[in-house]
Each structure stands twice: as structure tokens, then as C-alpha cells.
A and B are shown apart, each in its own frame.
Chain A
Amino acid sequence: MLEYLSQGLGIALQWENILFMFIGTILGLVFASIPGLTFSTALILMIPVTFGLDPVPAISVLLGVFAGGMSGGSISAILLGIPGTPSAAATVIDGYEMAKRGQAGRALGMAVYASVFGGIFSLLVLMLVAPQLAKVALKFGPAEIFALVIFGLSTIVSLSGTSLNKGLLAGLFGLLLTTVGLDPVMGLQRYTFGQSWLMIGIGIMPVMIGMFAFPEIIETFQRAKNNKGVSKEPTDKQVVKASFPTLKEMKSTFLLMLKSSAIGTGLGAIPGTGGPIASFLAYDQARRQNPRCGKGAIEGVGAPEAANNGVTGGAMIPLLTLGIPGDSATAIMLGAFLIHGLAPGPLLFQNYGDLVYAIFISILIIYVMVLVIQFFGIRLFVKVLDFPKVNLMIAILAMTVVGSFAINLNFGDVIIMFFAGLLGYLMKRYGFPITPLILALVLGYTIEDNFRKALVYSDGSLAIFVQSPVSLVFLILALIMLLAPLIKPLLEKRAKADKA
């Protein structure tokens, strides 16, 4: 191992490799921070570039995009209230609250700290227990993944804000939207009305862009119309200071960071789950620990960011040890390995140990780069808020259109984005929370896909979900989450009655 480590260090530290890591990281940060451009787009753009590179720089540039992208998604989530990637949807809740209160710099600082924490945690797990964790991940079949995702969906309860009923309704509507398109098992068309662009279904990105951006845009214009002075005012009058979490804050959030990173790494390792669900589960943990979450607490920013960066190392586990990509980002990376004649899988560690260690070291360097670039970047990013809000919103409006078109080069997505935006505005106006809908939309397809696949295994018997211990545990946990708000008052009443 030491031999590999020193050889790996030699490969990783070549200037060409460092350069490409840097390019990748910047690209990931930029793409992820612009709503509508995801780091997946950046990865696709980089594929032809990797054709001409040596294996390690080729993979480094992609790793840079992946890690930079996971951490960059939080920038627009915090500053503009629009998540740059689906994985940053949970970050909006507290991050944007903090920004509104003039603490954008503090929120960004926490996001960077948490991202690097989660990334390095997952790297350590990848280096130390990858083969063992991969074996556990193999045990997750459709029934187990279904139960896990249902558990993830049950966090709607804590995302619903004041009205649980409205939250659940929003969630159900999100699930309904995921039924549009080709069904996952038979490939039959549902609710496509003969339109080929609806066969892909309702995309997460256009809905997310519309729902998060439009209410803000409309409200800003309304305020500007009612009060002429507003249009000239900067977005935030307070002086925005960029700051990293203090030692005290790091201490108080350490356990939460650890837990969130572990959630992210674990879910990253299970093919077919990934970033969004990990960040929402971690957010739920933060919410339990700190009741101020939801009103702008650093825990609410840190937990999802630690989790979605934990996914980066986690997702590398099945990729490197089994040759199975867990999500679209690692699928593209698998391509980069194969182009260079390296087949990830059990033999990779045996035959190319030096390369594997070079990749590990590259991940570490990339996270150091994320830290440095973001640290200096925050000072620049927060300047967005000095910009008159009306002008900023006009720019965002233009970007929502261009961004939603750029995802699939499909004009249908722009239409979806507009409708989603309008719906988002109405929902906000009548007190329906948006996040449950987004969560349901992100998870809906996975839920149906795995539910139906599990039923094929069991010949249609629902028993498969309770016969598997893993599945049973997650389903019970989900049930507890759902029933807790109903049972808690009853228990408290009883306790009071007992006392009396």
C-alpha cells in the first residue's frame, strides 16, 4: 500500500494533472452555481477533452467537475434561493433565509466548510473500507431501495413548515408529476398526449428553476411597482461579510457533520440513490438537532452540503470496486476509464494500484482547491447582492429561460419551467411549501421503478417489502416519521393526565 501511495503521489502531483484538476474544479463550481447548468452538463462537455489525455488527468478533470459541482450548487441556493443542482435543493431552506438576513457570507462559509468536510470524510471511507462497503451496497435490491427512498420521502413531514396537510398535498402532487412520460417497466406512454417531448417526463431541473425563481421574481416586481424606491435599492442593505464558521461553531456542529457525511457516503455507495435524497435525510437530522433550522441556521446549511459532498466519495466505491456507476456523474466517469482501457472493477486495484491511489490523492487535492477557490470566491459571490434587486431579477428571468432550454436542448422544458414557475408562485401565495413537491419529484421515479421491479421478483406479492429486514426497518422508520406529529400530542396529553 505504501508503495502504491508513493507511486500514486508521483502521478497525482504532475503539473498536467494539477492543471486539469484546477480546470475541472472551476468548471464544476461555475456550472453548478448557474441555475440550469448542472455539473452533469459540464461532465458531458469534458468527455471529448478526455479523449486526448492520459488516464489520471482525464479522470482528475472529471473528478474536479464532480466535486466542484457538488459544492458549487450551494452558491446560487444561498444567494438567489435557486438551487444550482438538485442536490442543493435542501440547502435553499436555511441558506436563503440566512442570506435574507444579511448572513449570506456566513452561510456560504458554512457550505464550503461542510462540503470539504463531507468530501474528505467520504474519501477516507473510500480508501479504508471500499470493498467491504461495496459488498453491503450489493445487498440493496429494488425492495430495499424502495423502502430507503420512502424513508427519504417521509422527511416531507419536517419540510412542510406550518401545515402538514399542505406539505403532504404538495408532495403527492410531485409524485403525480413523475408519472408523466414512459413508465419505467413496460415503457408505455402515460399522459404524453402524443407529444414526443413529454416522453422524457417532467424534468427536475426545469421545475426546480421555475418554482424557486418565479415567486421571487414576481414578488420583487410587485414590490417595485408599489414602491418606486425599491428598484434602486441594493438587494441587501447590510454589509455582507464573508466568514468561515468559528472554532466554536465547528465544535458544536462536528457530530452533525460526521453524521451527515456518513449518510451521504452511504447513500452514494448504493447505486440508484444519490445526492438529493442524502441531502434531505441529512437536513432532517439537522432539524431534529436544532429547532431553529428552517429559519436560517448554519446547521441547516451544513448538513445537506456535507451529505451531498459525501456522495462524491461514496459514489466512487461501487464504480472503482465493482465497475458499477451509481449515478449519471459516475456513469460518465466510467466512460473516461474505459476510453483509456482501464476497466474499473475488482481487478483495477490489483493491476493499477498506483493509478487508484493517484485518484485518491487527486480527490484530496481537489477538495483543497475547492476550499481555496471558494474562500476567495465568497468575497466575489456576495457582491451579487449589491446589485439592485430588480435588475438582478431581470437577469435571473433571462437565465431561467436559457438555462431550462440548455438542459436537454428541448423547448418543452422551457414550457414546463414557465408552468412550474406560475404554480410555484400560486403555491407560495396560498401557503403551500415548495420543497416537498421538489423532493417528491426527485424521488418519485426511483420509488415507482423499484416498487414495480420488486414486485416482478415476488410475482406481485407485497410480502417482499417486509420479508427483507433492511426494507422492513426503513419502512417502520418512515411510518414513525409520518405518525410522530399525530402521536406526540397524544402522548404529551397522557403524560399530563398521569401527573394530575
Chain B
Amino acid sequence: MKTSKIMVIVLTVLLAITMLAGCSSTPAEKPPADQPVETTFPEKSIDLTILFGAGGAADVIGRKLADGAAEKLGKPIVANVRTGGGGAVGYQYVLGQDPDGYNIVWNSTSICVTYHQGNMPADQDFSAFRGVAKISEEASAIAVKADAPWKNLEEFVAYAKANPGKVTVANSGVGSFNHLTAAAIEDALGVQFKHIPLDSKESVTALLGGRVDAMVNMAFDAIPQVEAGEMRALAIVGTQRIDAMPDVPTMKEQGYDVDLLMWRGIAVPKDTPDEVVLKLQDAFLESANSDEFKEFAKKYSLTVAPTTGAEFDAYMAEQDKMIADLMEKIGLKKQ
């Protein structure tokens, strides 16, 4: 039958498309035994695990960074989104693969938070990974609605002090980075908020809809609303002011010691060989330092602050301790 032949072809093609979408890496070719590893890596495409939603900032920036690094390495880097468990699903996936540099993760502050929250096995904290390179930092902000009575942080603090537990603050849910930031702000200001666990977009909706008094969110989520005159940013949580909102002072400038940054970088399982890590490090640092990436990062209000893998390891250790202390203080630390 002619039609059935056509159908066989059509179905085969459809199936092939499905398979292509399913397979993301080409099968491994064993390197010849007499050749040293450092000269041959990478011999096939590299799988980059992205921990957060497709199309979100983490995803898009990760892909852009990987594009540049792949060019340098001469093999494709395929980004695969493995979300869930505040990053735990993706982290555990990468740790479950061979430590050969072909499985890397677009790591962030989430490794510390999700571990201490108890979503990672006890022996898989940040030190189960090895830093390839730290790439970027992002500041967060505390913002209120444009027609709110508080013109600045001082007035807001005064109101919050007079009404303990009354001021509603949207953060991104229990144990999220924004929740930690909100708790750190609370601690530094000496006030008590009522935390409303909404994700970053729901927080914007809730603030614009007048259901919460303030939100603590990544500065990036507040910028378009502040520019449009819908919100007022009271303070930047970070080491310095940000370009998109130059008039908004940092917490530190206003006399409060809150310094929490969302950082991102590339990491691999800790037993990955030195020469492979170095090769990856060079490629990713070059990509991060390119004008093209810096230009791109600017659109997401991301500060490109690259460091080497060794420095990244030390930084992660330091951050992990700070985050553990903070989570202990607000009763979120499970391990």
C-alpha cells in the first residue's frame, strides 16, 4: 500500500525528531590509551545542568555563557534544564555522573541554601563540588508601591518598628534566597515582618495589586516597575549601587549591615581531574570576560565578577558558613 509506506516514513521522521530532542549528547568515544587526558578534553559535547526554569534569568544567562565557552573548547555545550527541589534535583543529577568534566552545573547560592534546608543527602554539600569559575553576582532590593506612605527606608523602618509583625513582605518562599535576604534585613533593622511566601513574579503581582506592603526580590525584578513609576525601591541589598537604579542607596550606606549577594558560577563533581577543570576554567573565564557576555549580562542587571576555580572554592566555603549561620538564626537550618 502506498499510503502505508508514506505513513512509515512520516512516523519514522516524527520518531527521529522525538529522539533528537531526547538525546542531548553524542555517545562517548574512548580516548586512545597512549594519549594524555589534558590534550584530548573535550572529545564530545558537554552537558550543562541548569537548575531553574526555562526562559528565566538563570537559564538564559547560562546558555549565553555556555555559547562563548563552547566556542573556545571547540565542542558544543548543551544546556539542559533540570529543575526541582530548589536546585537539589539538578545538583544530585550532576553528582551522579562520572567526574570527567562532561557534566557541569550552572551553580549558585542555591547549593548552600538547598543543602542546609535538608534537600540534599548529608554528604553532598557545596564541598561535593569543585569550582570551575565564579561568574557573576546579583543584588536584591526592597521595594514598596509607588503610592505607599514611606518615602525612604527610614520611614519604613519607623513604621515597621511601631507595628511589629504587621508589615507584610513578599519574598520568594520559605528557604529561598529572597527569604534569607528578607530575614537578614529584619535582623539588621531590628524589626519583625510578616513573610508572605510568593515566587518572584507573584511578589510583583501582589505588590502592584496592593496585597502586600513591600517585597524583597532580585533588583532585576523591581527595575522595570521602578522605571515605570509603579514601585519605589527603598534600598539595594549588595555591596554597591546598581547602574539601572543609581539613585537607590545600598543598605550599608544607610547604616545597616546587610550584605547578601546571589552569586553564580560553574562547578563540577569534586573528583574531576585538575587538567579538565583548568581547561573548563579558561574557557568559561574567557566567555565571561568577553564584551558580548558583559553586554548581555547588563540587560539582566548582572554584575560580571569572574574568579578562578580555586578562588571560587574558597568563596563558596565562606558563603556557606555565612548562610548556614543565617539559616540557623531564623530556624531554617536542618543540616
Contacts and interface: CB of A to CB of B under 8 A. Distances in A.
Contact of B15 (A196, A338, A395): A395
Contacts of B195: 456
A47 B63 contact: yes
Nearest to A388: B4
Contacts of A387: 3-4, 7, 11
A454 to B, nearest CB: 10
B67 interface: yes
A271 B205 contact: yes
A429 interface: no
Contacts of B296: 339
Interface stretch (B154-162, B167-175, B182-190, B311-319): B167-175
A31 to B, nearest CB: 8
Contacts of A182: 84-86, 119
Contact of B224 (A186, A347, A405): A347
Nearest to A41: B21
Interface residues of B, number: 63
A45 to B, nearest CB: 7
Interface stretch (B48-56, B99-107, B127-135, B263-271): B48-56
Contacts of B206: 141
B151 interface: no
A194 to B, nearest CB: 8
Interface in B184-217: 195-198, 201-202, 204-206, 208-209, 211
Chain A interface extent, by class: 35 or more
Given A185-B197, A196-B92, A328 B82 contact: no
A322 interface: yes
A189 B119 contact: yes
A139 B299 CA distance: 30
Interface of A is mostly: helix
B305 interface: no
Contacts of A456: 195-197
Contact of A200 (B6, B17, B56, B84): B84
A376 to B, nearest CB: 15
A340 B63 CA distance: 15
Contacts of B204: 322-324
B132 to A, nearest CB: 21
Contacts of B227: 343, 345, 347
A44 interface: yes
Interface string B204-246: 1110110100000000000111011110000000000000000
B299 A338 contact: yes
A335 interface: yes
A346 B227 CA distance: 9
B173 A44 contact: no
Interface in B14-37: 14-15, 17-19, 21-22, 24
B208 A138 contact: yes
A345 B168 contact: no
Given A185-B197, A384-B7, A199 B211 contact: no
Nearest to B208: A138
A138 B201 CA distance: 12
Contacts of A405: 22
A331 B6 contact: no
Contact of A44 (B3, B19, B81, B84): B81
B54 A43 contact: yes
Given A40-B54, A339-B299, A395-B11, A187 B175 contact: yes
B55 A333 contact: yes
Contacts of A392: 7
A328 B55 contact: yes
Nearest to B21: A406
Given A272-B202, A409-B24, A453-B196, 10 more contacts: A40-B54, A47-B60, A186-B175, A187-B175, A196-B88, A201-B84, A331-B201, A333-B55, A383-B7, A403-B18
Interface of B: 1, 3-4, 6-7, 11, 14-15, 17-19, 21-22, 24, 53-57, 59-60, 63-64, 67, 80-86, 88-89, 92-93, 117, 119, 168, 173-175, 195-198, 201-202, 204-206, 208-209, 211, 223-225, 227-230, 296, 299-300
24 contacts: A45-B21, A51-B64, A140-B209, A141-B209, A182-B85, A184-B173, A185-B173, A185-B197, A324-B201, A324-B204, A325-B201, A335-B57, A335-B60, A338-B60, A343-B224, A346-B230, A347-B227, A383-B3, A387-B4, A398-B15, A399-B18, A406-B18, A453-B198, A456-B196
Interface of A: 30, 34, 36-37, 40-41, 43-45, 47-48, 51, 138-141, 181-182, 184-187, 189, 196-197, 199-201, 271-272, 318, 322-325, 328, 331-336, 338-341, 343-347, 383-384, 386-388, 391-392, 395, 398-399, 402-403, 405-406, 408-410, 453, 456-457
A-B pairs, top 3 by smallest CB distance, nearest first, are: A332-B55, A346-B228, A138-B209
